[in-house]
Amino acid sequence: MAESDLSDIPTDAIRAALHETIEKKLKSKNYKTVVSSASKAGESNFVGIVHRVSFNKNDEEKQEKLILKVAPQNETRRDQFNSRALFLQEINMYDKILPFLKEFEQSKGVVIEEDGFVEYPKCYRTIDEAPSESLFLEDLSVRDFAIIDRYTQEVTADHVYLFMKALGKLHAISFALKDQQPEKFKELASSLKEMFLRANEEFIGEFFDNQAESIFKVLDNAEDAHLLAKMKKVFENGAFKTALECLDLDGTDPGSVISHGDSWQNNLMFRYDENGKPIEICLLDLQVSRYSSPIIDIVYFIFCCTTKELRDAHYDDFLKAYHESLSAHIRRLGSDPEKLFPFAVMLEHFRKYAKFGLVLSTVLLPMITTDRGNGLDLDELAVKFEKNKENNFENKEDLDAFNSFISDNSRIKFNKRLRDVVIDMVRLGYV
């Protein structure tokens, strides 16, 4: 019989599914199981609870592993952070959308292992019943993948080039599928709902508008008066409305794709060679995958996760690398990239929609620049937000709780990174 302590696994349904999954992998009912945390609360995963499950047959030492991603059980947090809908969105991506994209590649003669889009973890099974929503995923650490440690490492050009190549392939499948099977593509794309910027929820708008106030504070000196004037013009109708306009399909179609949606550095893992150079990438956390302009994924990552120094040295080359990967894969799939998304059209998308990266930087940079150990207690934060929501958002201090983990030590870094984003947005003509 199985020997295990599954007390950290919240429901009987998940425990039963875990036993079934392990027994199928080991072809045995006699095994040992160890469950440990795979992420620190408020630091590595903000929507679910992530466990690492190690298991082996009783008479063998060799261990196998998987990642178990589970929806939170706290009712306030589930409601405030839209947990069930987010998990169902990711389950849809793993159960339906990604398998069909792979089938389409294969139908066009693409050798998946050589040229296909494979830069995501395997999914062994999912559960969509509340409150047991969960995904059983490949543990990429077994293949020596690791997340960039944002406390000790910076994103490098090599990281970005890998990301651009993988993203180009992912987006290319959408362009080719839309070109060749428009009704099927419409079915897949329409199944994705906007999970991050929910236009019908007043609280979300208040939150984003409040976060954008940090830009005005960073630019509050005579030297930056011209930048401040531009930012006030950009956000004259609010940061939330500005971001929503970047996702408006009336403007971005027909150049819209099924996109990752949450492409910051904590949702990417890399494998390195013996010299420490990243040589392989995997994209994680597909809960906010959306149908949008392809450049939304790019500006999200570049302006939130890279330094100005890196952008100054490589920005144009990053865009070329993305478009080359996109174009090459569209051709593999039998369509014409010059017809579907030429370089000039891509640049026009940047001019119109890159300010999405500016808005998101106000949300991501507080987390990226904070000191180790200053993570968020999301259950506590959800209670504060819910209370504030009931009081019609009268207490700005509760909204500012999201920024409260920026320490005095990290404030200087945060201010510089955010100001640099503003400078580059102006320099590149995006605002």
pTM recorded for the entire structure: 0.93
CB 74 within 8 A of CB 271: no
Which of the listed residues 70, 88, 114 is the one where a domain comes to its end? 70
240 and 156 share one domain: yes
236 and 361 share one domain: yes
Evaluate whether residue 128 is within a structural domain: no
10 and 108 share one domain: no
160 and 198 share one domain: yes
365 and 285 share one domain: yes
List the pLDDT tens digit at each of the 431 positions of the chain. 565 679 889 999 999 999 999 999 999 999 999 999 987 554 555 678 999 999 999 989 899 999 999 999 988 888 878 899 999 999 999 999 999 999 999 999 999 999 999 999 999 999 999 999 999 999 999 999 999 999 899 999 999 999 999 999 999 999 999 999 999 999 999 999 999 898 888 888 988 999 999 999 999 999 999 999 999 999 999 999 999 999 999 989 899 999 999 999 999 999 999 999 999 999 999 999 999 999 999 999 999 999 999 999 999 999 999 999 999 999 999 999 999 999 999 999 999 999 999 999 999 999 899 887 655 555 555 555 566 555 555 555 555 655 666 777 888 999 999 999 999 999 999 99
Evaluate whether residue 390 is within a structural domain: yes
45 and 93 share one domain: no
Alpha-carbon distance of 190 to 359, in angstroms, equals 25
241 and 376 share one domain: yes
CB 53 within 8 A of CB 35: yes
Evaluate whether residue 136 is within a structural domain: no
186 and 302 share one domain: yes
Strands, E, within 122-242: which ranges? 123-127, 134-138, 145-147
65 and 82 share one domain: no
Among residues 356, 350, 363, 349, which one has the least CA distance to residue 417?
Answer: 363
Evaluate whether residue 131 is within a structural domain: no
15 and 106 share one domain: no
291 and 177 share one domain: yes
- In the chain, the number of structural domains is 2
CB 266 within 8 A of CB 150: yes
Give the SS3 label for residue 125. Answer: strand
**Sheet of 278-283, strand order:** 145-147, 268-272, 278-283
Strands, E, within 237-296: which ranges? 257-259, 268-272, 278-283, 290-292
Residue 49: which domain range? Answer: 3-70
Evaluate whether residue 134 is within a structural domain: no
Among residues 96, 294, 106, which one has the least CA distance to residue 188?
Answer: 96
What CATH code is carried by the domain that includes residue 108?
A: 3.90.1200
CB 86 within 8 A of CB 70: no
